[in-house]
Structure 1
Amino acid sequence: MYQGTELNVTSAFHTLPPMHPDQWLPHLMKCQHLPEADINALCNRVRAILIEEGNIQPISSPVTICGDIHGQFWDLLELLRKGGMVPDTKYIFMGDFVDRGNYSLETVSLLLALKARWSFSSRNNQLVELKIPNCVPRYPDKVTLLRGNHESRQITQVYGFYDECQQKYGSSSVWKACCTTFDYLNLAAVIDGEVLCVHGGLSPDIRTLDQIRVLTRAQEIPHEGAFCDLMWSDPDDIPAWAVSPRGAGWLFGGNVTREFNHVNGLKLIARAHQLVQEGHKYMFNTSLVTVWSAPNYCYRCGNLASIMRFHEDGTRDFVDYGPAPENERDRGMPLRRIGGAGAQYFM
């Protein structure tokens, strides 16, 4: 474990203040978790950034979107190697950063630190500093973090993140700080006004994007309703709506998807939430795509992973990849809980 913030480092621009993201990132990139005081400071900083952002974050291309990570830290590094490091590449991570993998804490810490390092205040619609002394210049929209159904107090107590925080810190305080930050994550993003990015899917209670914009997001994910559906719903080859076997959200069909896109001027819905063996899958005449970014899910499913790139000229493509070689060093580690009360939910 990294033992604390090091001495301030002088650069050509400034002297880094204590507990600055540039102090944390080298340690986080080595899969070292931060001291409790540092991760609490990181969570506070990211919450301050997220409070200024809306439920739907507008993003311009070029941008790369990513599906579930699920605590597979070495595979997150592989994703960054394949897609490019921030700030050279702009990313939207579509939720489910934690649970099931061996390194939920290190995974979410790295994502939060990248968000903190490459963010800006939106006041006056220009690049301005957050009200933090001696911060380095910041850039817009470099890291967007959407909420997934696993960014939840209830789910993380069942599928591993809570237990991991208890094991690594001896208390639940870091878990509580992370969950409070999860409450402020964006619910969705829209790329170039044409592509809706959301973790799960659609809701029978939501017809327009404006209805997403007015939801109260600073709360635990409800058990039902529009907010819940955005986190939990799945597409299926059905005409309209059906009850989801997950026990939350809905199954929704092609007609529902095409109508939602038409009403909101969208060309595509991009989402995560479901394992895809090939890493990505189009449905409904390419009006919806699922992107999955955890290769060899749970270290046993044998699937590929993908990230999806949206280019300035309007074209799109995928980058597929397998498990990171660093996973070999973790062979024999006990697997996190993946079954439990909702065994069907595993997939």
Structure 2
Amino acid sequence: MLYLDKVNDNVSCRMTLGSSDAAMASDGELNVDNLIARLLEGKFSNFCQFYESGKSCTIAVRGCRPGKTVAMTENEIRILCNKSREIFLSQPILLELEAPLKICGDIHGQYNDLLRLFEYGGFPPEANYLFLGDYVDRGKQSLETICLLLAYKIKYPENFFLLRGNHECASINRIYGFYDECKRRFSIKLWKTFTDCFNCLPIAAIIDEKIFCCHGGLSPDLQSMEQIRRIMRPTDVPDTGLLCDLLWSDPDKDVQGWGENDRGVSFTFGPDVVTKFLTRHDLDLICRAHQVVEDGYEFFAKRSLVTLFSAPNYCGEFDNAGAMMSVLETLMCSFQVLKPSEKKNKFQYTNSTNRTQVPARTTELGKSKARP
């Protein structure tokens, strides 16, 4: 049986920075500890350090006055992509994970909010993490966001996991910001290196044989988990089919069975589809991302599916909160919510508690307010 509740925790931040001595990558080497330290340096100090080794790019970090920066080289980022790509290919495309861990939804280049999530949940390796995709595009700091996530993947390959989102695809992030950011700061060649890395990301995860996780949703083509395991990598995201649906589909309370998706890609699916899927595979919950939801998380189909969105004040245009789901070994889950900020750079956390039991494999219709 799976239980879910909303809790309040005090913010705890414990992180020791590595040496700030220059440790830029060269000749295929990468000092991942120093890279992580530099990416976090502005968060823990009132100043930022400059590096002038090789071709560098200024990257803004939280905690610094605007204009103060740390730097990474293009070569360093390329090595980061290649090493993480090797790790992705060495691990299954359908991950089988164990609790405890924390699950995060879309980040979309909102680097400061990514740091807030780590502040709340604990910086790796203090906690295990699963991210559901959409790390880049739309936000202003996609490079910082994806570089920190890939660095943590290299540093803690068995405790830190990244799934692929629909924006980890060249045809999408070519349009919505990541391509332009790579081109402006470094080169088109580096964007292509990221594309090679994204094409190797895992697609889905199952936690303790009870929680199915993916970025988008279900597919009418999905009858067996073995179908996911048979997807070969590296691969681009096709316009139709199983892989496309896992990254693009959406739940819809007004649909029975499968419906047309307003995105123009993939399908929508009703609560009945969720119920049948969970029953067939002896699962209790589907955890997905892909849609902005007002409270940062939102249930569907009698709490048998939950949507997570972890980028508060999305694009500066929404008043949504961001959320992270913590899964204990007992499969007791809590939602830690980052409330939307009224002013730029101001943030706060929720302070309310609401415990509810989630029925497994429900057959009744639920309500959803998820925005497309």
Distance 1:278 1:147, change over 3 A: same
Who is 1:11 aligned against? none
Q: Which runs of 5+ in 1 are unaligned?
A: 9-16, 120-139, 330-345
Who is 1:235 aligned against? 251
Who is 2:297 aligned against? 280
**2:314 counterpart of 1:303:** no
> As a proportion of its length, which structure holds more strand?
2
Who is 1:196 aligned against? 212
Who is 1:111 aligned against? 149
Instruction: Return the alpha-carbon distance in structure 1 between the equivalents of residues 177 and 138 of structure 2.
Output: 6
Asked if structure 1 preserves the Cα contact closer than 8 Å seen for 2:222 and 2:242, the reply is yes
Structure 1 residue 249: Cα displacement? 1.3
Structure 1 residue 322: Cα displacement? 2.8
**2:36 counterpart of 1:25:** yes
Structure 1 residue 207: Cα displacement? 1.5
Instruction: Return the alpha-carbon distance in structure 2 between the equivalents of residues 101 and 258 of structure 1.
Output: 35
Give the 3-state SS of the residue equivalent to 2:102 in structure 1: strand
Residue by residue, what CA displacement relative to the aligned partner does 1:35-58 show, whole Å, maximum 9, x if unpaired?
101001111110111111111111
Asked if structure 2 preserves the Cα contact closer than 8 Å seen for 1:236 and 1:253, the reply is yes
Instruction: Return the alpha-carbon distance in structure 1 between the equivalents of residues 109 and 340 of structure 2.
Output: 13
Worse-superposed segment, 62-71 or 258-267: 258-267
Q: Give the aligned residue type for 2:33.
A: D
Which of the residues 332, 337, 357 maps onto 1:315? 332
Asked if structure 2 preserves the Cα contact closer than 8 Å seen for 1:223 and 1:248, the reply is yes
Residue by residue, what CA displacement relative to the aligned partner does 1:27-74 show, whole Å, maximum 9, x if unpaired?
122434521010011111101111111111111000110000000000
Q: Give the aligned residue type for 1:24.
A: L
Distance 1:327 1:57, change over 3 A: farther
Which of the residues 143, 148, 167 maps onto 1:150? 167
Instruction: Return the alpha-carbon distance in structure 2 between the equivalents of residues 167 and 5 of structure 1.
Output: 27
Give the 3-state SS of the residue equivalent to 1:43 in structure 2: helix
* Aligned sequence identity (%): 40
Instruction: Return the alpha-carbon distance in structure 1 between the equivalents of residues 23 and 197 of structure 2.
Output: 27
Instruction: Return the alpha-carbon distance in structure 2 between the equivalents of residues 246 and 166 of structure 1.
Output: 27
Who is 2:221 aligned against? 205
Asked if structure 1 preserves the Cα contact closer than 8 Å seen for 2:132 and 2:164, the reply is yes
Asked if structure 2 preserves the Cα contact closer than 8 Å seen for 1:270 and 1:291, the reply is yes
> As a proportion of its length, which structure holds more helix?
1
**2:267 counterpart of 1:250:** yes
Instruction: Return the alpha-carbon distance in structure 2 between the equivalents of residues 245 and 176 of structure 1.
Output: 29
Structure 1 residue 217: Cα displacement? 3.8
Give the 3-state SS of the residue equivalent to 1:295 in structure 2: coil
For normalisation by structure 1, the TM-score amounts to 0.82
Give the 3-state SS of the residue equivalent to 1:190 in structure 2: strand
Give the 3-state SS of the residue equivalent to 2:337 in structure 1: strand
Instruction: Return the alpha-carbon distance in structure 2 between the equivalents of residues 35 and 86 of structure 1.
Output: 24
Instruction: Return the alpha-carbon distance in structure 2 between the equivalents of residues 54 and 33 of structure 1.
Output: 33
For normalisation by structure 2, the TM-score amounts to 0.77
**2:74 counterpart of 1:57:** no
Who is 1:182 aligned against? 198
CA RMSD of aligned residues (A): 2.0
Distance 1:210 1:204, change over 3 A: same
**2:115 counterpart of 1:73:** no
Instruction: Return the alpha-carbon distance in structure 1 between the equivalents of residues 222 and 343 of structure 2.
Output: 42
Who is 1:38 aligned against? 76
Which of the residues 214, 236, 247 maps onto 1:220? 236
Who is 1:328 aligned against? 345
Asked if structure 2 preserves the Cα contact closer than 8 Å seen for 1:257 and 1:288, the reply is yes
Asked if structure 2 preserves the Cα contact closer than 8 Å seen for 1:19 and 1:38, the reply is yes
Following TM superposition, the consecutive aligned residue runs of length 4 or more in structure 1 with deviations greater than 4 angstroms are: 323-327
Aligned counterparts, 1:130-149, within 5 A? 140=158, 142-149=159-166
Instruction: Return the alpha-carbon distance in structure 1 between the equivalents of residues 326 and 144 of structure 2.
Output: 25
Q: Which runs of 5+ in 2 are unaligned?
A: 1-19, 43-60, 62-69, 347-370
Q: Give the aligned residue type for 2:264.
A: G
